[in-house]
Structure 1
Amino acid sequence: MEEFRGKIITNDELVQFRQQLARYKDQQLEIFCEYFREDLLYIIECLDTQSILRELNFRNPISVEHYQSIKKQCGASVFAEMLVGDIHASGRDAILGFWESLFVLQNDYPHPNLLGALEELAQTGDVLEERILLDRNGPDLSPDLNICQSQHKQNLLKKTKNLVEHRAPGLTTESQSFSITERYLDLIVVSSQHFRSRPQHELIETGGIHEHYLQRAQSNLERISPNRLFRWCHRKRCVPQAVLVSGVPGVGKTTLMQKFVYDWANGNLYQRFAFVFFFKFRDLNNKEELSLAQMIINEYPYLHSQLERIFQNPEQLLFIFDGLDESKSQIDFMSNQLCANPHSMQTLSVIVSSLVRQSLLPGCSVLITSRPTRLATVETSVFHRILEIMGFFPKEREKYFLHFFRDTTMGEKAFHYVRENGMLYTFCYIPSYCWIICTVLSMCFRAQRANSAQTVEFLPKTVTQLYASFISNILANHCQEGSIDKNFLIFIGRMAEHGLRNQILSFTKDDLETFNVDTSSHLATSFVMESGQPPHVSYSFLHLTIQEFMAALGHYLDYSPEGLQKALEEAKLYEDGRGEIFLRFISGLSDSSTRSLLKPYVGDLSAPAAKHVISFLQKSITTLQNPDKRKVLNVFACLAESRNKALVSSSIGSNRQHDFRGYHLAPLDCTVLAFILESCRETEVLDLGACFIQTEGLERISAALHTVRDLRLTNNNLRDEDLPRIHSMLTHPQCRIHRLSLRNNGLTETSCIPLALAVSENTSLRDLDLSKNKLAGEDFYQLLEVLSAPTCRIERLALQEAKLTPEYTESFLSLTNNPNLVSLNISTNFFGDAGYPHIQKLILEHPSLKEIKVGMNDFSEETEKNLLQLKTHRPNVAIIF
């Protein structure tokens, strides 16, 4: 992703910015403050608290003293709300001083949202008020067009006011409908410029970088709310007319578009557009040639009489096309074949390209959505703004559960269960996945209530078990109406696999007939959704993951050794990773307890198929010669889904060293690794250096790290709040950790006390590296006290570059009480000559020390010479600079 960099703001530029602000009237400033309010709140949350308060204090717009502790006590959101609210309430001078402070802060904090707001204010200030009022009030229309627009808005309101939740199998017999304002939750939408062939399944990859995106939101990730889609674009230095929104299946692209259209039709968003036209690519698949006018009239026939007048002001028009990945036409946005006449009969590709390229209705705006994988093959440079929907923030995930269950206690119970289960939680950034999880858990809770003897063991633990439970709920619901047709499941499984193999998500009536899938069957409607109007109807699975599960299940319902082997080999070879989740499902079904969830409805699933898959996994492990880390993790993930600890132990147990250094480990990867470590239990070396393991990832893997002898967690940006996990790992009764490296993380003196407690309780640790952490502070003395105890078993201690100053050197003398210490690294601190006497004494008096590193400590040449001469008194101690 493109990085944002700041520039050096000169005094002349600040004066010019100040003069420009001074020209605005009080009413204009109020309008601008309201317009930028959401941006300002987000910017303040992301900026360094002390820096913004320092700038505000320097310009004296308001008294900032009482804000010092608010962020720590109440959180970033409350702090931002209070600060922005108080500044706006304090009048003109405070508002001007606030904007000046932000202008100066871009030097050190070039956050894209900050740069974009400042640029929009500075470069479009003269017309900004006009644009804001146009978005608020809309253009002047003739009486006839006003009536037509009102009818159009009422039609769109009727279509978009409700969110329809698909039938929850076993819970209800009908789909449920909710007000979109009641159920819609904020999604993370970020600026993104690059689409490429992805080496991973897109759900896994996006889930993997999700926490990384959340971290980057604090630095250089541009967050775009729906009301900013067509506002000033900092990257392109323009107000965008062509916008592209990307997102994995089920992440909320269509729902975001529905909310966008609803807000426009309700008068709350972008009233600059007099007319918004919303189309789905899948509904246009059967149109070989058509005109833009015909396309509009087919969807909105009541616009027929006014269409020519609507076309006269194209700058007032917005065209939304949802689901580019479902289009059978290969849209070529760089094609030379364009049209200019809205009545000209053309292919869909030509019409859409012509709108985007502004040859058709120049001045109009276009909004298109797509899956990321489709965009890897599309030229996207013609779009002014490109975005990616990242799904739910963690808070929105929990809100979803509470909304679904309606019962707060039940919702919290379900979310807590999923939060503690890394396998299930990782994909919860996807709304449709949340729906599947909530559906299954609600059924499990009902079953538990019906049978009080049931325990939590009944709940799904792997993703495969989750989907097996989901499908069993569907089948249980249909068992009430008669027996399950096993052939139907075999046929739909074959169709699902055909779709995966050929990257088909939308099926035609002919496709269904080819695979003997009878759409008149009531069971079919539980697996596939129907869209479009006869004769142009298409079908798709409720979600891509359900298609992948049914493809895997088909091999256990109708086992063919040749067919299964071919499917396994093909799935392993897909370069875009689209076979990864299929492989995880097919591996997960090798577990007999997982298969038993479906047994009441389809009988015994094939045990020979399970043995075939286990054999395939064994061979996959043994053929991992000098493999890349992604392939290793894919195999590990399949083993984790299989829940076959014996297989893991026999296949991986002999390989006791795992090096993932430099590879970005997602929380799901950490969950998978935890299963592998627990299964092997005698891993000698695990190098997780620079794996970008954050709080959630450490939470997933920490329960198994006590089984490792040599554990390297260097350069992972771990924080003080992560120390409880480190403490629990070191104090585990079966802890084997002999060497632990926490080098180059974000630990401060706050970590010293938990570390001291952990070291004092641990019996296995002998080598501890805490280098390149900011440990200086009062609490460091308590850590040093534990490391100096006669009972301390630490033999090698590294405190290089720990921000230690001369006053700490006297306390180092206490290390002479540790009879086991043989190596000490205190280089690259700030001891200077003032610290020399104590270091000298430490070297001369320590009974067991064999090596000490003291270089780069601001010593004079004479002091360094004196230190080296100590070798004559302690020849057995290596003094290293």
Structure 2
Amino acid sequence: MFPSLSAERGLEEVLDAHRLSLKRRCERVTEGTDQSETLLNSIFTELYIIQGQSEEVNTQHEVRQLETASKKNTLHDTPIKCQDIFKALPDQQTLIRAVLTNGVAGVGKSFSVQKFTLDWAEGLGNQDVSLVIPLSFRELNLIKGEQYSLLRLLHVFHPTLQKVTAEQLAVCKVLLIFDGLDESRLSLDFRNNEVVSDVSQQSSVNVLLTNLIRGKLLPSALVWITSRPAAANQIPPECVDRVTEVRGFTDAQKEEYFRRRWSDEDLSSRIISHIKSSRSLHIMCLIPVFCWITAAVLDHMLTTDQRGELPQTLTDMYSHFLLVQIKRKKQKYEEGHETSPQQLTEADRELLLKLGRLAFEHLEKGDIMFYQEDLQRCGLDFTEALVHSGVCTEIFKRESVIFQKTVYCFVHLSIQEFLAAVYMLHCYTNRDTKVLKDFLQRDWPYKNSQSRDQDYPSLHVFLKGAMEKSLRSKNGHLDLFVRFLHGLSLESNQRLLGSLLCRTDNRPTLIQRLFRGQLGHTDNRPETIQRAINNL
């Protein structure tokens, strides 16, 4: 009796230490960048989550899904609170073991996981669960080629659990959270993988995960997986008992978010009013990360002596966001709405184009997480970049994960898409035919009989080629990239971003010549705009 009692006390001590560790890990968050840590409970705004998912979830770009969702009548939705995702509805009799939560990039999936975990650690929710174990795919990627048992995996990723034995794990009610399936570089094969049922048996990480999700390994454990929509179909439907979708903020929650950020009620009211005046901005503010981007830009423009119109479009907002972050870091603000190209130093310009190349090359492959070798291929030295340019940490996150290894990502997928478009337009204006040929593939070569540049695409032909490529994508992963590409070809955004889009040899770009009417009648500005509109 006494050894058993001693073992039970030992387990309780371990679980208490684990709760404390998770509380410390989850109570603070970074919103947007790795520089602005704050208490989660002070900024967390409840999200709108529903049971089920939208029909368009795997066939449309995520911004299109937001636009579709914004028009829908929500009367027939079944809202569900994050803390209740493992609780059956009144008309449900079956046990909910595995939950798959979908949601577009930046909509708050990881924040929801963090809030769920923090509430459990503080004794505020789901106390019937003995042990909550969050694991992120960005960390699991780092051991994808190695052999682990489930028990060793938990010991390594959560050192507070090192004294937990296989027998104790079997009697605990365990919740395993796998966050960010879309960031996974593991090969999850649910059809052909070996069966692993012993928590002490070693195997590859992808085999362990498939057996956990299928219920072959630790069948008593609850499993929660979060993912962007395009990656969610990696999990077979028969392995999932409940699907939920994080829809982001309702209109009331958007207002609550902005009012929480400022004690100045007049400022928050002006920002809310401006967002409501622009349909595209109002839709995008369903996403918490986009609210952060919008707040950063509008707060600066409304609290400094900036003059001129506030951004009305996504491209305009993102162009300002880049410039605001550069100015904030370097404290080189100049009055006036437009920013001269000289405000981008050569170091800024070189860094942003390297980030643009990284963004573009991985956007094509569908990657949103990067590792050191990915940066090196694009000539990026993050440490050096921090010294020479302040913009890096505001749009590009560096996180130390398990084993003190580092992963990188843009603060939001749309920033990756925006910088990818900046890079592609830069390649177009600098006649980088190799990049264009690789991108446009079957649509190359071009012969423009009415253009002075016989073997190089005119602007509207280039934009049309990019659009046609995006249409061939099954999940529309290039759609927002193409929207940004069109937006960046406008003269107003050309002036705003200046040297980022100019030729490296200081000669006029094709687009600048276009603005000046130097490419002949067929390429004059009004007609080019109309052709692009017709194409769209």
Residue of structure 1 equivalent to 2:462: none
Query: Are 1:191 and 1:223, in contact at CA under 8 Å, matched by a contact in 2?
Result: yes
Q: How does 1:97-496 map to 2 (within 5 A)?
A: 142-167=8-33, 175-192=35-52, 198-212=58-72, 215-216=73-74, 218=75, 220-233=76-89, 237-287=93-143, 288=145, 289-314=147-172, 316-335=173-192, 337-447=194-304, 450=305, 454-455=307-308, 457=309, 459-479=310-330, 483-485=345-347, 486-496=349-359
Query: Are 1:207 and 1:429, in contact at CA under 8 Å, matched by a contact in 2?
Result: no
Query: Are 1:201 and 1:581, in contact at CA under 8 Å, matched by a contact in 2?
Result: yes
In the alignment, the residues of structure 2 paired with residue 157 and residue 398 of structure 1 have an alpha-carbon distance, to the nearest angstrom, of: 28
1:376 Cα shift?
3.3
Query: Are 2:262 and 2:268, in contact at CA under 8 Å, matched by a contact in 1?
Result: yes
Distance 1:294 1:591, change over 3 A: same
Cα displacement string for residues 368-411 of structure 1 (whole angstroms, at most 9, x for unaligned residues): 10111012344222111111111111100011111223321111
Residue of structure 1 equivalent to 2:431: 560
Distance 1:332 1:235, change over 3 A: farther
1:594 Cα shift?
1.5
In the alignment, the residues of structure 2 paired with residue 539 and residue 192 of structure 1 have an alpha-carbon distance, to the nearest angstrom, of: 31
Distance 1:649 1:358, change over 3 A: closer
Residue of structure 2 equivalent to 1:680: none
Letter in 1 for 2:424: H
SS of 1:189's equivalent in the other structure is strand
Residue of structure 2 equivalent to 1:608: 510
Distance 1:609 1:571, change over 3 A: farther
- 1:579 equivalent in alignment to 2:436: no
1:590 Cα shift?
1.1
2:398 to 530, 534, 539: 530
- 1:548 equivalent in alignment to 2:417: yes
In the alignment, the residues of structure 2 paired with residue 591 and residue 514 of structure 1 have an alpha-carbon distance, to the nearest angstrom, of: 31
Normalising by structure 1, what TM-score?
0.50
SS of 1:312's equivalent in the other structure is helix
Residue of structure 1 equivalent to 2:490: 591
Structure 1: runs of 5 or more not aligned: 1-140, 168-173, 616-643, 656-671, 673-881
1:556 Cα shift?
3.6
2:369 to 493, 506, 512: 506
SS of 2:162's equivalent in the other structure is helix
Query: Are 2:353 and 2:500, in contact at CA under 8 Å, matched by a contact in 1?
Result: no
In the alignment, the residues of structure 2 paired with residue 556 and residue 336 of structure 1 have an alpha-carbon distance, to the nearest angstrom, of: 44
Distance 1:380 1:560, change over 3 A: farther
Query: Are 2:166 and 2:200, in contact at CA under 8 Å, matched by a contact in 1?
Result: no
User: Alignment length, in residue pairs?
Assistant: 470
In the alignment, the residues of structure 2 paired with residue 245 and residue 323 of structure 1 have an alpha-carbon distance, to the nearest angstrom, of: 10
Residue of structure 1 equivalent to 2:458: none
Query: Are 2:53 and 2:245, in contact at CA under 8 Å, matched by a contact in 1?
Result: no
Cα displacement string for residues 162-196 of structure 1 (whole angstroms, at most 9, x for unaligned residues): 222234xxxxxx72233222211111111116777
In the alignment, the residues of structure 1 paired with residue 514 and residue 236 of structure 2 have an alpha-carbon distance, to the nearest angstrom, of: 43
**Higher-Rg member (1/2):** 1
In the alignment, the residues of structure 2 paired with residue 329 and residue 269 of structure 1 have an alpha-carbon distance, to the nearest angstrom, of: 32
1:201 Cα shift?
0.9
Cα displacement string for residues 22-69 of structure 1 (whole angstroms, at most 9, x for unaligned residues): xxxxxxxxxxxxxxxxxxxxxxxxxxxxxxxxxxxxxxxxxxxxxxxx
Distance 1:557 1:409, change over 3 A: same
RMSD: 3.0
Letter in 1 for 2:313: T
SS of 2:79's equivalent in the other structure is coil
Query: Are 1:233 and 1:384, in contact at CA under 8 Å, matched by a contact in 2?
Result: no
Letter in 2 for 1:468: S
SS of 1:473's equivalent in the other structure is helix
Query: Are 1:197 and 1:376, in contact at CA under 8 Å, matched by a contact in 2?
Result: no
Query: Are 2:425 and 2:501, in contact at CA under 8 Å, matched by a contact in 1?
Result: no
Cα displacement string for residues 550-603 of structure 1 (whole angstroms, at most 9, x for unaligned residues): 11111343432634474525334323211111111111111121222223x748
Distance 1:602 1:480, change over 3 A: farther
